[in-house]
Structure 1
Amino acid sequence: MKFIDIFSGLGGFHVGLKNNGHECVFSCEINEDLRDLYEINHGIRPHDDIRTVSESDVPAHDILCAGFPCQPFSLAGKKKGAKCPESGRLIDHVVRIADYHKPQFVLLENVPNVLTIENGTFWDYVRNSFERIGYRIDYRVISPVDLGIPQNRKRVFILGTRSDINAESFKWPSASDEGIVRVSLEEVLDNTLDHKKLESKKSDILALWQELLNGLNIATLCSVSIVAPEFGATYPENFSKLSLRELKHYKGAYGQSLEHCHTWAELLALMPSYVQKGKQIPQWMLKSIRFSRNLYQANENFCDQWAKKLSKINNSWQILEWRGAHVKHVIKDHIVQFRASGIRILKADIAPSLIAMTPTQIPIIPSESRYVSKHEAAKLQYLHTLKKLPEKNNAAFKALGNAVNAKIIELIGKNLIPVSL
């Protein structure tokens, strides 16, 4: 079948569908550098802006593919949905082209939040728009790890089937399908490839957190964070309705006394950053706050001595988000991400989702004191067969974070049965 590739990026749709023998006849990508790479990798020069494309200039096609921009719907983005003036309504241009050409299939990809943003009204808009022009809409939330690829990256894949086609002939791929090959993360990683070494400051902070884990000898850690500012803290979980005088009897971050505070500004400056705005502990942190305070009470002297060595400059480095092994708490045996919410420790067998919004969350292999390379990240997206990736590391990870997983597209495309003409 012939397909078009809108918001094409590095060409995840292109690679996946080409692997099934389909032919790309048109693409569109607004980023000039990615247009250059697309031409090098795929032999087609993309149009620059979907908003300036005339429907009649788009060649006839059987499959319309679009990974429409996800930032308005991502947890890491602005979450403005269709109200986002930059890109939220670019889906309208996909509908416009589909309405003109009536391809057999429309294949879309986005973050799962597209289903729920604005209380589901944007998803209703998308579904109704395609149903209005003659398509039946179905979708699945799929992560690469579901199909044997060692990356946690949930995305919603949306299939529009033209109403005159038997939609029941299509089956979504699943882990039980014949031919699904499971790949381990160990097979993906290759430290001989060009990669960035971990900065000494990050190595030092990981070593310091390991010192705490060794000293506390915690029996079990399960999806909880160790929040260092709570060591010695006694302030109420919600102090939004308490007076300044009432709070003077409590202790703030790291057990700092609040009794000499004369203004709210002075008091809040002694509080952890996550309570300064709302004057209460965020609901999602309560479990970890209580855990950390109990941990401190059982190990007060050790925690006090350890906290003296911890830099208080970077708020997120004062929180260890444990998502790793429940019993063996050795950081170097895991994967690490430095996130805005804290230092996240993850199990070593599955890579975290590649993120386009920021280059600071590139996964780290602590046992080798290095970051995951762009070539390894391309393997996780099944784009490692491309002739060329962006030269700069940040640009490469941004593009890979925005890319659709080519293997998932290949498996979906394998089950698209064309109508005989």
Structure 2
Amino acid sequence: MESPKYVELTQTSVSATSTFRFVDLFAGLGGFHTALAKLGGSCVFACEWVEGLQDLYQRNYGMRPHGDITTISAVLVPDHEFLAAGFPCQPFSKAGDQLGFEHTEQGRLFFNVLEILEAKRPKNFILENVPNLLKHDEGKTFARMRSELGNLGYTIRAERLSPHQFGVPQIRERLYMVGSLDSMESFAWPTPTDAKTHISTVLDANPPEARAIPDLLLRSLEMWDDFLTSSPASTDLPSFPLWSMEWGADYPYETTTPLEMLAAEGPTALHPFKGSFGVSFDGMTESEILRHLPSHAKRPGAEYPRWKKRFLRQNREFYTENQSWIDPWLPRVAVFPSSLQKFEWNAQGEERTVWKYVLQQRASGIRLKRVQSAPTLVAMTATQVPIIAWERRFMTQRECARLQSLGMIELPSQIGAAYKALGNAVNAHVVELIAQSLLAAGGVRGAQTLAA
């Protein structure tokens, strides 16, 4: 006998002092819950499909989220006045395949949110996702979302905001959508304070649990530090990503690609050219040529996108202009993996060293930023956690939690799981400011109604 499509829902009691009820969809670590509870809300329903995060949510907030939202009947969700949802961003992120609604597992979860909005008619909602959602499928995805929400009677507003605009030292721009069944004429987005921030405000002194930079990464940082200190003061270091494997390369890229040339004419078509670090392709077989092509040059397609052509052009021009001091340093970088051969300098005008800044290792290279803020936390591996360079260590889970304004909650015990959850989390402080304005526009401010 087939099991029923929908699971049964248990009822959750509401605090006598609460001024509104809310539901927390795709709850994760509970950033929405933290924010809305501070404003006097009482959570009557939550869902989160990761079982370990369900256990954690129960310990942090005293209620266990339901699992898969697709197994929940919208009409059985408890009545509420406020819906919050950070529906999965991977289908719309520039870091993914951008399959959108066609994503087989996550792309259509937005429509489960719609079903609950249609069935329960909460007065307000707030949704959070990546900024690229605005541009996905040439804007058609966001336009459809806005239309679907509007068809339910909601007035919609959307804005991109980042924690660093409100005193939290993390650059993490996200798209926030708010909606109300009432007029939103009096609603205003929170005004950025633009107060100066500094990463030190979330750091602990000599935390014993901090992980040291591993040896390979440490040696690559020492190598890039030598690059910076070797650069003449008269040379402007660019802000575009430095792709050192392009320094000495001259394979065609403007109107064709090496893979296209190999497919059309075979390896002899590339014999006159050079690959990574100026290695000549002369006499090489196809497999040998592929080994000496940069990884970014081996993407399929007859032509590179414009942004890649621009980076290739900029890097080759930079090398041509600075070859005299780069060449003595260049052999050192070739021994490292591709991700450590790329470097992004975002401290123009500052002291040229890696050891006074915040770093992050990404698949796209090492990124260096000023100490005013941390780079965006990402839901990837523990190696992509921000690095406090002057202490030769990664940020701890607790320090990263403070970047999400979740410094007081319990975190997953496993390091990788903690960083992944934090990378997926919504910033509680930003949500609190937005929700406070939305509630005030509708007659609720904090834990007291405006009428009171």
Indicate whether 1:80 and 2:99 are aligned: yes
| Residues 156 and 179 in structure 2, CA contact (< 8 A), matched pair in contact too | yes
Structure 2 counterparts to residues 131-142 of structure 1, below 5 A: 131-142=150-161
Structure 2 counterparts to residues 112-191 of structure 1, below 5 A: 112-162=131-181, 165-176=182-193, 183-191=197-205
Cα displacement string for residues 385-410 of structure 1 (whole angstroms, at most 9, x for unaligned residues): 21x10011111111111111100111
Distance of 1:269 and 1:355 partners within structure 2: 30
Task: Tell which deviates more after alignment, 44-53 or 362-371.
Answer: 44-53
Distance of 1:280 and 1:131 partners within structure 2: 40
Distance of 1:4 and 1:304 partners within structure 2: 59
Distance of 2:73 and 2:305 partners within structure 1: 49
Indicate whether 1:229 and 2:245 are aligned: yes
Q: CA deviation at 1:250?
A: 2.8
Structure 2 counterparts to residues 48-59 of structure 1, below 5 A: 48-59=67-78
| Residues 274 and 282 in structure 1, CA contact (< 8 A), matched pair in contact too | no
Task: Tell which deviates more after alignment, 282-291 or 249-258.
Answer: 282-291
Q: Which of 65, 70, 95 pairs up with 1:46?
A: 65
Which residue number in structure 2 is paired with residue 266 of structure 1? 288
Which residue number in structure 2 is paired with residue 90 of structure 1? 109
Q: 1:292 to 1:158 in 2, by over 3 A?
A: closer
Q: Which of 193, 203, 214 pairs up with 2:229?
A: 214
Normalised by the length of structure 2, the TM-score is 0.85
Describe the SS at the equivalent of 1:96. helix
Task: Tell which deviates more after alignment, 295-304 or 58-67.
Answer: 295-304
Q: CA deviation at 1:158?
A: 0.7
Task: Tell which deviates more after alignment, 66-75 or 280-289.
Answer: 280-289
Which residue number in structure 2 is paired with residue 256 of structure 1? 279
Identity %: 38
Normalised by the length of structure 1, the TM-score is 0.91
Indicate whether 1:202 and 2:224 are aligned: no
Task: Tell which deviates more after alignment, 94-103 or 184-193.
Answer: 184-193
Distance of 1:117 and 1:104 partners within structure 2: 28
Describe the SS at the equivalent of 1:331. coil
Q: RMSD across aligned C-alpha pairs, in angstroms?
A: 2.3
| Residues 224 and 287 in structure 1, CA contact (< 8 A), matched pair in contact too | no
| Residues 325 and 347 in structure 1, CA contact (< 8 A), matched pair in contact too | no
Task: Tell which deviates more after alignment, 396-405 or 229-238.
Answer: 229-238
Q: CA deviation at 1:384?
A: 0.6
Distance of 2:195 and 2:326 partners within structure 1: 47
User: Unpaired segments of 5 or more residues in structure 2?
Assistant: 1-19, 444-448
Q: 1:128 to 1:259 in 2, by over 3 A?
A: same
Letter of the 1:201 partner, please give it: L
Q: CA deviation at 1:302?
A: 4.8
Indicate whether 1:344 and 2:367 are aligned: yes
Equivalenced residue count is 414
Letter of the 1:43 partner, please give it: G
Letter of the 2:345 partner, please give it: W
Letter of the 1:45 partner, please give it: R
Describe the SS at the equivalent of 2:201. helix
Which residue number in structure 2 is paired with residue 316 of structure 1? 339
User: Unpaired segments of 5 or more residues in structure 1?
Assistant: none
Letter of the 1:228 partner, please give it: S
Q: 1:305 to 1:282 in 2, by over 3 A?
A: farther
Q: Which of 395, 408, 412 pairs up with 1:385?
A: 408
